[in-house]
């Protein structure tokens, strides 16, 4: 029986996430207090629902403090539990609340919107490490739906290695466990015939593979990740996100993320994401 619990800061995309899971065949429930989780699971188990996704309401007691115990209890009852935490940068959340004209659940006469966002993030700080985090700051709703579908496609009992490319000018992903800066490599963006292409295109790949620095960078990152992965696995991690960043996130970081993903595919479950590429540009459907 597959149970996927969802939490995160307000405005981070939990409604989009539960919608994507329902489209994938999950029985979905939104805004469920932790105290009602056991009763709901008893009900859906009797109804023979074997794939359940629940957005937890952590505003009510016991709030964040009850999540870890709820996960343990569900696993004891036979559920395979995965926990997904959604987050976004503060300026992105402010913009989303302004666009929708919704009131933040923790805003009041004493807190501005920004203060309410930071209050909630601090309140949930102990919950985030319990599961896999996704930074939705730069994702469209369609991209987030695709990322969610990739998340549920892997075996939760095995470590999944995620290589994510990004552009530093758009900010470092909040969900990165390891971050590598490859901006020191020769930049295809300054080659007129390559600027409009990406690290997925043969011309860019050929250009970078002719650069000795790119080969050295690949080898250094590969050996670092390979040597430390067993330690992360022993730490009972289910996911490890390795973020590769260049200036714009379209050429060097994409090339290296793809090359590293290919190198680790035979030994681990591997996903690849390219944050700054449009879906139409991404062949792997992981963006």
Q: Are residues 32 and 109 in the same domain?
A: yes
Residue 286 has pLDDT above 60, yes or no: no
Question: 234 and 126, same structural domain?
Answer: no
Residue finishing a domain among 132, 151, 170: 151
Last residue of a domain, one of 133, 151, 169: 151
Write down the pLDDT at residue 91.
93
Q: Which domain holds residue 55?
A: 2-151
- Domain boundary (123, 151, 179) is at 151
Name which of 99, 83, 82 is nearest 91 in CA terms: 99
Angstrom distance (rounded) from CA 227 to CA 221: 10
Residue 287 lies in a domain: no
Residue 286 forms part of a structural domain: no
- In this structure, what CATH number is given to the domain that contains residue 101? 3.40.50.300
pLDDT band at 139 (very low <50, low <70, confident <90, very high): confident
Does 192 have pLDDT greater than 90?
yes
- The predicted pLDDT at position 281 comes to 57
Mean pLDDT score, 177-196: 96
Q: Summarize pLDDT for 225-270 with one digit per residue, the tens.
A: 999 998 888 887 888 999 999 999 999 999 999 999 999 998 889 9
Give the count of domains, the chain. 2
- pTM value is 0.80
- The verdict on 139 and 11 lying in the same domain is yes
Q: Which residues contact 43 (CB under 8 A, 6 or more apart)?
A: none
108 within domain boundaries: yes
Q: What is the pLDDT of residues 41-93, one digit of tens each?
A: 998 888 888 899 999 998 877 778 889 988 999 999 889 999 999 999 999 99
Are 86 and 18 within 8 A, CB to CB?
no
């Amino acid at each position: 029986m597959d149970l996927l619990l969802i939490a995160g800061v307000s405005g981070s995309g939990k409604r989009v996430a539960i919608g994507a899971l329902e489209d994938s065949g999950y029985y979905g429930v939104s805004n469920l207090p932790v105290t009602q989780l056991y009763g709901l699971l008893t009900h859906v188990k009797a109804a023979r629902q074997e794939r359940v996704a629940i957005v937890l309401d952590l505003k009510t007691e016991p709030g964040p403090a009850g999540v870890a115990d709820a996960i343990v209890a569900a696993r004891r009852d036979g559920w395979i539990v995965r926990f997904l935490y959604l987050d976004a940068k503060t300026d992105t959340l402010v913009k989303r609340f302004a666009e929708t004209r919704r009131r933040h659940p923790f805003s009041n006469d004493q807190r501005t919107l920004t203060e309410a966002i930071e209050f909630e993030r601090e309140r949930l700080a102990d919950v985030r490490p319990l599961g896999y985090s996704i930074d939705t700051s730069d994702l469209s709703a369609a991209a987030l739906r695709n990322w969610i579908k990739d998340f549920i496609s892997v075996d939760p009992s095995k470590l999944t290695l995620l290589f994510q490319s990004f552009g530093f000018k758009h900010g470092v992903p909040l969900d990165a466990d390891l971050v590598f800066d490859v901006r020191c490599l020769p930049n295809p963006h300054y080659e007129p015939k390559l600027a409009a292409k990406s690290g997925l295109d043969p011309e860019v790949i050929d250009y970078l593979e002719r650069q000795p620095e790119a080969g050295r960078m690949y080898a250094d990152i590969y050996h670092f990740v390979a040597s430390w992965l067993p330690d992360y696995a022993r730490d009972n991690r289910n996911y490890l996100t390795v973020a590769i960043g260049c200036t714009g996130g379209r050429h060097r970081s994409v090339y290296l993320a793809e090359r590293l993903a290919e190198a680790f595919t035979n030994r681990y479950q591997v996903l690849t994401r390219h944050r700054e590429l449009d879906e139409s540009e991404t062949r792997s459907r992981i963006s």
